[in-house]
Amino acid sequence: MDWGMVLGALFVGIVVGLTGMGGGALMTPMLVLFFGVSPLAAVSSDLVASAVMKPVGSFVHLRRGTVNLKLVLYLCIGSVPTAFAGVFILKGLGDDANVQHAVKLALGIAILFTATMLMVRAYMRLVERARSRDGKGEPLPQDRPDIEVKVIPTIALGAIGGLIVGMTSVGSGSLIIIGLMMMYAGLKASQLVGTDLVQAVPLVVSAAIAHALFGDLDLAISIPLIIGSVPGAYIGAQLSSRLPGGFIRRALAFVLLASGLKLLEVSNEATGVILVSALVLGPVVWALIRRHHGFHPLASVENRRWREAKRLREESLAKAEPSRSLSGTEPSRSLSERSETKRGDPGEVNG
């Protein structure tokens, strides 16, 4: 038993349960770069582990009601058959050195795309909050929203995501969750994660079965991944409603950027320059973007102010409780208090 692989899978499982993203995008390059597993075997083993891991986090979200089952249905209609087909396409290409190299490059491109989409997702949530605050858009939902499902685009999104997952094991969380966010802006962040995790279950099961039948499945790799990732996914899902996702998303994007560059065989010197630039310039650029949209440059300061305002409101309501019980009426709240309640915790949506 490779306990290093178990610990790596535990970390990946926590990230998946916490954000709904990063399973294949972290697990597969971890196997290739740190444990010397061939790209095809890494894809197969990761999908089998994901087929066991994702239902754990999905169960937590289903129990909390943060899943849109209509979206899950139409996504699966598109993704399940194309995930199976993706494995056939990959197997048809053969397993010589050129194919292994091509799969490795495809993984690198998919992972860099995932890192980019993480930042796009964060920016879109920031714009939504700004529009809601300024009265130019609908308030961000705090309850389960009733959305109108776009059947054809949703099935097409599932089909594209399924094909990519079948060939690379990347995309069940990254590509599809971004597509959902772009098509259904009214979904609450926790619903995005929950819906994406549940739809990913039949998707990765389909791809895992195909890889087990026709791919390069290695149980000596899959079993340590399952042992580590299953408890990790449960822990992450439990934490997802309690921790702000901003720092996790930035850290995940940084790790994905490093993994993608190495899979694309970028030199160590160039990779170092890019990562240092991202580490130094990224927070500065994000602070300027936040300020441009009227928010404090530091999300931590905004979150602290929000928590203080919430504490003061709760103390005010507690003091007013005796008079409310005597008069039978509820004390009125100011317009700023009502709008603050509609907006919700800023830590949930922007980071």
Name which of 128-132, 242-246, 278-282 the model is least confident about. Answer: 242-246
Kindly indicate the confidence band of residue 327, based on its pLDDT and cuts at 50, 70 and 90.
low
Share of the chain above pLDDT 90, in %: 8
- The residue written with tokens 């791919």 in the block is 215
pTM of the model: 0.64
For the ranges 1-10, 46-55, 163-172, 211-220, the maximum mean pLDDT occurs at 1-10
Tokens of 220: 């000596």
Name which of 12-16, 52-56, 140-144, 148-152 the model is least confident about. Answer: 140-144
Give mean pLDDT, residues 4-26.
Answer: 76
Picking from 200, 285, 226, 284, the residue whose alpha carbon sits closest to that of residue 19 is: 200
